[in-house]
């Protein structure tokens, strides 16, 4: 391992699961083995690859086949891509949802912040994917930006039939947080919470998330955690940096990093119904790297 990598690597005190990694991003092209290897060194043992379109969902599943010990993936159409959702799309999604390494429907939801697709197109694609989640009884991996009222309203009408759902990369208001928790949904927290400029509202909110409803994620290659002591030169976030999100959350949740690692990984295993082989009891209390970072 090179010195530069060693310096930026913080090892988690117990196995972590990164529930949102955009491994099909161009920025990771040809680097998948290295990225997974580095994540393992940081004790991020499992990654859920995010599918955001038909092609990226297909690509995500191919990566899972290549690395079945570490990867699972979601299958879905991101709200930004909802304009491409046609009457044929549900059939294509169904083919992919049958894949044994697909663990959730998504990324789906509403994003009225940038409206890359119209709100009508987004709602149509979202509802079609809710129907698929019900048909396949798979959990939902959801995105929401500036669309809480409508997303909550739609979800509420489907909630009794949906197996489970997570609002990934939650950055919303207290009202939104309580609204989603009232629907018994999970909350995904990214490195947004490590941002001392725009993450302060979120920092004050997260203690309201019950520990059995919290999961953590990097959303790599986006959202490089700003609390990293030494940031990589390419400014690219990686699943190996998830322990920085854990560290920040442990301060705001008033739970130890070890407890939080156990809780969030248990939640992710239960939520995505991961196999027992993904539950390693590998605490690393005597590991020299983690001891170094505990100083
Ligand atoms: Zn998202």
User: Which of the pair, 9 or 57, is modelled with greater confidence?
Assistant: 57
Place of tokens 């039939």: 161
- Interatomic CA distance for residues 198 and 61, integer angstroms: 34
pTM for the complete prediction?
0.92
Which uninterrupted H or E stretch holds 71? Answer: strand 71-75
Q: How many whole angstroms from 145 Cα to the centroid of ligand 1?
A: 8
Rounded Cα distance between 2 and 232, Å, is: 12
Is the pLDDT higher at 287 or at 213? 213
- Quick one: average pLDDT of 30-48? 97
Phi-psi region of 141 (alpha: psi -120 to 50; beta: other; left: phi over 0): beta
pLDDT score at 3: 42
Give the residue carrying structure tokens 């509420």.
156
In this predicted model, which residue has the larger pLDDT, 1 or 197?
197
In this predicted structure, what is the pLDDT of residue 287? 44
Rounded to the nearest 5 degrees, what angle is found at the Cα of 175, between the Cα atoms of 172 and 242? Answer: 35
Confidence at 205, pLDDT banded by 50, 70, 90: very high
What is the 8-class DSSP label of residue 94? H
Residue 295 confidence (pLDDT) above 90: no
Count of other CB atoms within 10 angstroms of residue 58: 17
Query: Domains of the chain (ranges plus CATH)?
Result: 16-282 (3.20.20.140)
Q: Is 60 helix (H, G, I), strand (E, B) or coil?
A: helix
pLDDT digits (tens, 9 = 90+) for 85-123: 999 999 999 999 999 999 999 999 999 999 999 999 999
pLDDT band at 294 (very low <50, low <70, confident <90, very high): very low
- How many angstroms does the Cα of residue 186 sit away from the middle of ligand 1? 14
CA 113 to chain centre: 20
240-274 per-position pLDDT tens digit: 999 999 999 999 999 999 999 999 999 999 999 99
Nearest-CA neighbor of 170 among 147, 153, 154? 147
Q: Could you identify the residue written with the tokens 């060194």?
A: 41
Q: How far is the CA of 51 from the centre of ligand 1 (A)?
A: 10
CA of 223 to the centre of ligand 1 (A): 11
Residue 2 CA to ligand 1 centre (angstroms): 32
**% of the chain at pLDDT higher than 70:** 92
Answer yes or no: are the C-beta atoms of 267 and 213 closer than 8 Å: yes
Interval between CA 5 and ligand 1 midpoint (Å): 27
């Amino acid at each position: 391992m090179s010195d530069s990598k060693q310096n930026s690597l913080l090892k988690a005190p117990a196995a972590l699961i990164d529930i949102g990694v955009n491994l099909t991003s161009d920025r990771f092209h040809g680097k998948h083995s290295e990225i997974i290897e580095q994540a393992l060194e940081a004790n991020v043992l499992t990654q859920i690859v995010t599918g955001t379109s038909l092609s990226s969902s297909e690509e995500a599943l191919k990566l899972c086949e290549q690395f079945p010990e570490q990867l699972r993936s979601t299958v879905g159409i991101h709200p930004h891509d909802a304009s491409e959702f046609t009457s044929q799309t549900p059939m294509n999604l169904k083919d992919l949802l049958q894949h044994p390494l697909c663990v959730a429907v998504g990324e789906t939801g509403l994003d009225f912040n940038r409206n890359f697709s119209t709100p009508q197109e987004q709602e149509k694609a979202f509802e079609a994917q809710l129907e698929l989640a019900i048909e396949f009884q798979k959990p939902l991996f959801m995105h929401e930006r500036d669309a809480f009222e409508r997303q909550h309203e739609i979800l509420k009408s489907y909630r009794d039939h949906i197996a489970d759902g997570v609002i990934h990369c939650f950055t919303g208001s207290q009202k939104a947080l309580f609204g989603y928790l009232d629907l018994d949904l999970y909350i995904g927290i990214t490195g947004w919470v490590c941002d001392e400029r725009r993450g302060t509202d979120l920092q004050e909110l997260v203690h309201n998330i019950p520990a059995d409803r919290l999961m953590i994620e990097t959303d790599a290659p986006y959202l490089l955690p700003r609390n990293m002591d030494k940031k990589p030169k390419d400014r690219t976030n990686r699943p190996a940096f998830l322990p920085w999100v854990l560290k920040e959350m442990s301060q705001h949740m008033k739970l130890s990093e070890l407890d939080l690692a156990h809780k969030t990984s248990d939640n992710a295993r239960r939520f995505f119904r991961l196999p027992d082989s993904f539950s390693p009891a590998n605490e690393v209390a005597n590991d020299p790297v983690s001891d170094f970072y505990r100083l």
